[in-house]
């Protein structure tokens, strides 16, 4: 039977595939990005109490008032952004639905969208499902700097949106103020919306700073911010996302959201509201915990002579197989590492557009020598991961 070709031409996401491979071989899963510990127990208590004693019926379509107020206050406290909680915030089922609602609500068939590669795997299928056209600008290791001539060349009068992710998965790149300023200038010159996937906003290491594009001059009315309780509070199973932006765009996003999920579980929303109200020191303590894990994993690898690519945010570290003269693909390497050594990771090549997603003739084969590891894990898992990887590489 003929089905929607956009979805018929793609497989199951790499994260599901790799976690299944990991389970099949009882491997240590440093692939799919989910924390093994570190979530605030106060939030679990609050959600449980709200479930037992609070309202269990449909909450407000755009999100419970408490959470929308908390999102607006959070954005003001951390970034000086001025959003009205009633008109400028929408709560979604994870950032995944938030991104989908924004793409569905803000784009029309034929609109062009500029994106950086590597990219998160949900972007292109959603862009294709609305009939919009991706224009890809590739970033290169080790520093993932932006070629601004290539970026400018990707913009034209049909460009409607730029969709990008900072701190960036899988590279861990945190976009600098200078880079964001130049992106903002292009948005203003071409009157282009910026959909800013900022789910790792609180996972930034010392020496770097997360800056929302929306906070730069002239960008408040062109940028939509996407946040996630999955990342900010290590509660990926809760699937709570929150979007903020100018009222006109958020109205469109709410119109899409009302037909995707309509509402989100109220107990989880009120617990996330509590989390977002906490002071900067509370967030900083969680980031410090993550920084210690980063040090444990990256430092452990370094002691075995295994270098990772430089990164400033997120909870992923990447190794380059070429440093060991390894010629096999990232996918093969991970398959062997999972089956032979019981250690799983994510192939970087999965973060590049497959041929079916690009315009005819625009496909460029992805790098296939990079392997991503998630270090938001227990110390025991990190130590085991170092041992297993070093053993597998003969270090």
Q: Please give the residue ranges that form the binding site for ligand GLN (CB under 6 A).
A: 13, 15, 32-33, 169
Nearest to 289 by CA among 217, 349, 203, 218: 203
Element (DSSP H or E) covering residue 247:
helix 247-260
* CB closer to ligand GLN, 72 vs 203: 203
Coil, strand or helix: which one is 366?
coil
Element (DSSP H or E) covering residue 383:
helix 379-393
* CB closer to ligand GLN, 15 vs 324: 15
Nearest to 344 by CA among 358, 357, 330: 330
Residue of minimal Cβ distance to ligand GLN: 33
Cβ atoms within 10 Å of 126's Cβ, excluding its own: 20
* CB closer to ligand GLN, 15 vs 392: 15
Maximum C-alpha span of the chain: 60
* CB closer to ligand GLN, 169 vs 349: 169
* CB closer to ligand GLN, 167 vs 265: 167
**What CA–CA distance (Å, rounded) separates 241 from 227?**
6
* CB closer to ligand GLN, 59 vs 98: 98
Q: Residue 323 corresponds to which tokens in the numbers above?
A: 């440093």
**What CA–CA distance (Å, rounded) separates 91 from 82?**
17
CB of 13 to ligand GLN, least distance (A): 6
Which residue is it, tokens 């090549």?
Answer: 349
């Amino acid at each position: 039977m003929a089905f929607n070709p956009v979805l018929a031409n793609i497989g199951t996401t790499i994260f599901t595939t790799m976690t299944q491979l990991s389970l099949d071989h009882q491997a240590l899963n440093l692939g799919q990005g989910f924390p093994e510990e570190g979530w605030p127990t106060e939030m679990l208590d609050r959600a449980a109490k709200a479930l037992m004693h609070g309202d269990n019926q449909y909450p407000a379509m755009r999100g419970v008032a408490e959470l929308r107020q908390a999102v607006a206050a959070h954005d003001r406290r951390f970034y000086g952004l001025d959003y009205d909680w009633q008109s400028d915030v929408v709560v979604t089922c994870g950032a995944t639905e938030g991104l989908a609602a924004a793409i569905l609500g803000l784009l029309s068939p034929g609109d062009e969208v500029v994106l950086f590669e590597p990219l998160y795997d949900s972007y292109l299928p959603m862009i294709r499902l609305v009939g919009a056209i991706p224009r890809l600008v590739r970033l290169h290791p080790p520093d993932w700097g932006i070629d601004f001539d290539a970026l400018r060349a990707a913009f034209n009068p049909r460009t409607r949106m730029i969709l990008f992710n900072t701190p960036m998965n899988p590279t861990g790149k945190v976009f600098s103020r200078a880079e964001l300023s130049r992106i903002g200038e292009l948005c203003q010159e071409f009157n282009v919306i910026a959909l800013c996937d900022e789910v790792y906003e609180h996972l930034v290491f010392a020496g770097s700073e997360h800056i929302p594009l929306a906070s730069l001059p002239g960008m408040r009315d062109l940028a939509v911010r996407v946040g996630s309780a999955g990342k900010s509070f290590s509660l990926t199973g809760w699937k709570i996302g929150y979007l903020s932006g100018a009222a006109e765009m958020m109205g469109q996003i709410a119109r899409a959201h009302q037909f995707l999920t309509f509402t989100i579980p109220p107990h989880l929303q009120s617990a996330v509201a509590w989390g977002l109200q906490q002071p900067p020191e509370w967030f900083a303590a969680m980031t410090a915990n993550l920084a210690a894990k980063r040090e444990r994993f990256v430092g452990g690898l370094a002691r075995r002579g295994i270098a990772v690519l430089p990164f400033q945010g997120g909870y992923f570290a990447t190794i380059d197989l070429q440093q060991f003269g390894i010629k096999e693909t990232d996918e093969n390497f991970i398959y062997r590492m999972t089956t032979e050594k019981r250690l799983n990771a994510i192939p970087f090549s999965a973060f590049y557009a497959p041929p079916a997603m690009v315009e005819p003739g625009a496909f460029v084969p992805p790098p296939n020598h990079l392997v991503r590891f998630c270090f938001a894990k227990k110390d025991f898992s990190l130590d085991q991961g170092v041992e297993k990887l070093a053993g597998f590489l003969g270090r």
